[in-house]
Amino acid sequence: MNALAAKPDAPSASLPAPSPDVRLIRIDDAHAGQRLDNFLIGLLKGVPKSRVYRIVRSGEVRINSARASPERRLVLGDLVRIPPVRVAAPDSVAPVPGQEFPILFEDDALLVIDKPAGIAVHGGSGVSFGVIEQLRAARPQARLLELVHRIDRETSGVLIVAKKRAALVTMHEAMRQGQVGKRYLALVAGDWSGPPQALRFPLHRYLTAEGERRVAVQDGGQVAGTRVRARSRLVHPQFGRLTLMQADLETGRTHQIRVHLSHVDHPLLGDEKYGNYDLNKSLQKSGHKRMFLHAFETAFRHPTNGTEVRLQARVPAAFETLMKACHEPV
């Protein structure tokens, strides 16, 4: 990315950062295809989103000397004019600690990692940073690192990251078409002794009085489908009957697996939003302090060469530890 602008004076440690000069940025292949608003939000760190949208709608941001809407898709070679915008002083923002994660696959288009439980995939909602910010900090030379999809903070397993804009766009379209397979492992309460079946219950998102995001099965909600089957039926000496479930996504709604399994009275172990409160307390007291949902496998066509990619993230040690203490039901 080429910025054609004079460098502002270095900010004083005791003063706010000065407004930068007008910048002219030529769009390269790392950002071609990205929406203008998302491009600006990523570029203008520390600037409120409301301010970003205001400078676009006022015409202060221009593409090839013309006004543009926030939804405008950038094209290779576009020249974007960005007006002087005051950003947060560098010293006011805590640095993100760079971190690499176990790699399942990597080439020049994609990076697929095994995300640990307990780490958000991105910053926001009270979280300063997540996996994607840590990857960017660990790889400052990378021209692009963008999440292809998301998984819950307490969920471990397969997470796909795009390293090229074209790969990101292609993978997003494949996901919309249902061409990216996602398979999860879930340890749930109760004995699932029935046959494989598809759980198709509409899901409605809402906020609690405390502002917490929740999802519930509700008529008129978004269509959602989860195919489930039992892989292992177990009995734990303390926690009773448990089942290791396999869950294949037909759709990718927020908290889908968690809400669907809870709705059929087989809540996830360790799920503090939709699980069994008393059981979760007992699990925590016994040292089992995670939610037992793991993104186990993904399968898709490579966005560049079309070859089939199938990847698995090993079963976490926490799953194995809990299951080793179980026996099969009589």
Task: List residues with catalytic annotation.
Answer: 152
How many C-beta neighbours within 10 Å does residue 324 have? 7
Whether residue 46 contacts residue 93, with contact meaning beta carbons closer than 8 Å, is answered with yes
Residue 237 has phi, psi (to 5 degrees) of -60, -25
The 8-class DSSP code of residue 98 comes to P
As given in the structure block, the two tokens for residue 84 are: 């002087």
Q: How far apart are CA 289 and CA 256, in angstroms?
A: 21
Whether residue 125 contacts residue 150, with contact meaning beta carbons closer than 8 Å, is answered with no
Concatenated DSSP letters of 239-277: TEEEEEEEEEESS--TTHHHHHHHHTT-PBTT-TTTS-H
Nearest one of 238, 257, 73 to 169, comparing CA atoms: 73
Nearest one of 175, 180, 182 to 295, comparing CA atoms: 182
